[in-house]
Amino acid sequence: MSQRVVVVGVGRVGLPLALYLADHGHEVTGLDVDPSHVESINAGRMPFLENGAQEVMDRVRATGRFRASVTTEPVGEAEVVILTIGTPVDEHLNPVFNALEKVLASIGPRLRKGQLLILRSTVSPGTTEYVRRHLEATTALKIGQDLFLAFCPERIAQGHSFKELPKIPQLVGALDDESRARAAAFFRPLVETVLESDARSVEIAKLFCNVYRYIDFAIGNEFMMLADQQERDIYEVLRLVNSGYPRGGLKSPGFTGGPCLYKDGFFLVDRTPFPDLLTTAWKINESVPAYLIAGLRERMGSLEGKRVLVAGLAFKRDIDDARNSLAYKAIKVLKRYGAEPLEH
Ligand SMILES: NC(=O)c1ccc[n+]([C@@H]2O[C@H](COP(=O)([O-])OP(=O)(O)OC[C@H]3O[C@@H](n4cnc5c(N)ncnc54)[C@H](O)[C@@H]3O)[C@@H](O)[C@H]2O)c1
């Protein structure tokens, strides 16, 4: 059934989702506070690289089922509103809540009876409860009776949205049965599997997925340093560990950054008295650029005046997103040693 859907925050997550929904028959408006972003979308240009996105954009624009807007009026006309704004950490690595507060302040007055509000950004445990409290305090709407609220996190790997959106089980968490049922019904025609639970379990599940991956990469980096200490090549050791061994699967070392993995652990360690594994993973991953450049200095001597090519500035391969990329940390360290980094 075609519905009017507003996706609030058409960035790396929101735009592919908005296009996917429009491609599946919904009437979609993407809202964003960035006018240049909205302009680019309305001119039919993908503002960033995402496999297959330009084709989907061309297709849905031809149907008239997709447009972008800087104003919040479309929220009032929608049946479903999905929040996909960024949820960063600040310079002290504390989760920043005011982005969510701001978006609720801007769309809150437009929300009306019967709508389904889906939180899709990655959030701290308890955020869905916070949103319910906030909306019940600032509007006349009661969650579960007037307005239906669910947390349905995005779990795609950037660059692979269109391949993964239909395949990845969609987690649906809510604070009441009616909201959960409505959110599950919305996603069921769009994905192969819907898994329903309470909101907090889903909030934690999303964070555990990312943090597990981040720790897994930290083990790869730690093992690189241990192999180095034994004067052995980590890739040779990985070949021995992973070849044909059913309990292998060690990750290769590398720069582990990006806007998600880097920060999501801090949503969990915020209030815990036992954060060591998570924060140690962060320390290991963040130390890799300096570690590699120390190795370079050992082999080459002083880097003063030497030109060093840093190739690959995005935080992972085949995308154009350099947010929280450790390549920039490497460039900073190189400059500190007097080298002349060339960026590509
Ligand atoms: N990037 C990923 O691969 C990925 C994967 C899964 C989950 N997530 C999560 O999804 C969320 C979004 O991440 P992203 O990478 O798409 O971020 P992004 O910065 O690319 O996109 C967020 C968009 O929201 C807009 N925005 C901010 N405040 C707004 C407001 N008040 N009203 C309207 N628009 C507003 C911004 O201008 C931006 O275009 C984050 O919580 C992130 O952790 C990201």
- Residue spans per domain, the chain: 4-192, 207-343
> What pLDDT sits at residue 298?
95
| C-alpha to C-alpha distance for 26 and 7, rounded to whole angstroms | 11
Q: What is the mean pLDDT of residues 213-232?
A: 98
Top-level CATH class of 4-192? alpha beta
User: At a CB cut-off of 8 Å and minimum separation 6, what does 97 contact?
Assistant: 124
> What pLDDT sits at residue 93?
83
> What pLDDT sits at residue 194?
98
Does position 270 have pLDDT exceeding 80, yes or no? no
Q: What is the mean pLDDT of residues 132-149?
A: 98
Spacing, Cα 230 to ligand 1 middle (Å): 43
Report the nearest atom of ligand 1 relative to the CA of 260: 43
Does position 273 have pLDDT exceeding 90, yes or no? no
Atom 43, ligand 1: which residue's CA is nearest?
122
pLDDT category, 151, cuts 50, 70, 90?
very high
Residue to substitute in 101, 163, 260 for testing ligand 1 pocket (most ligand atoms within 8 angstroms of CB): 260
> What pLDDT sits at residue 274?
82
Spacing, Cα 13 to ligand 1 middle (Å): 6
- At 326-341, the pLDDT tens digits run 999 999 999 999 999 9
pLDDT category, 275, cuts 50, 70, 90?
confident
Record: fold of 207-343: Rossmann fold (3.40.50)
> What pLDDT sits at residue 17?
98
> What pLDDT sits at residue 95?
84
Does position 96 have pLDDT exceeding 90, yes or no? no
Please give the structure tokens belonging to residue 276. Answer: 């060591």
Are 4-192 and 207-343 in the same CATH fold? yes
Spacing, Cα 213 to ligand 1 middle (Å): 20
Cα separations (Å) of 155 from 97, 131, 158? Answer: 21, 21, 9
User: At a CB cut-off of 8 Å and minimum separation 6, what does 203 contact?
Assistant: 123, 124, 125, 126, 127, 128, 151, 153, 173
Q: What is the mean pLDDT of residues 42-46?
A: 97
Radius of gyration of the chain (CA): 22
Phi, psi of 124 (to 5 degrees): -70, 150
Spacing, Cα 77 to ligand 1 middle (Å): 22
> What pLDDT sits at residue 272?
79
Please give the structure tokens belonging to residue 59. Answer: 């297709």
Spacing, Cα 25 to ligand 1 middle (Å): 23
Atom 21, ligand 1: which residue's CA is nearest?
11
Q: What is the mean pLDDT of residues 117-128?
A: 96
Residues 78/2, Cβ–Cβ less than 8 Å? no
pLDDT category, 4, cuts 50, 70, 90?
very high
Spacing, Cα 86 to ligand 1 middle (Å): 3
User: At a CB cut-off of 8 Å and minimum separation 6, what does 321 contact?
Assistant: 12, 48, 49, 158, 258, 259, 314, 315
Q: Which of 56-70, 216-230, 258-272, 330-344 has the lowest mean pLDDT?
A: 258-272
Residue to substitute in 8, 13, 210 for testing ligand 1 pocket (most ligand atoms within 8 angstroms of CB): 13
Whole-number mean pLDDT of the chain?
96
Q: What is the mean pLDDT of residues 264-278?
A: 85
Residues 6/74, Cβ–Cβ less than 8 Å? yes
Spacing, Cα 125 to ligand 1 middle (Å): 18
Report the nearest atom of ligand 1 relative to the CA of 102: 31
Residues with CB under 6 A from ligand 1: 8-14, 31-34, 37, 84-87, 99, 102-103, 106, 121-122, 154, 156, 158, 259-260
Tell me what percent of the residues of the chain surpass a pLDDT of 70. Answer: 100
> What pLDDT sits at residue 271?
76
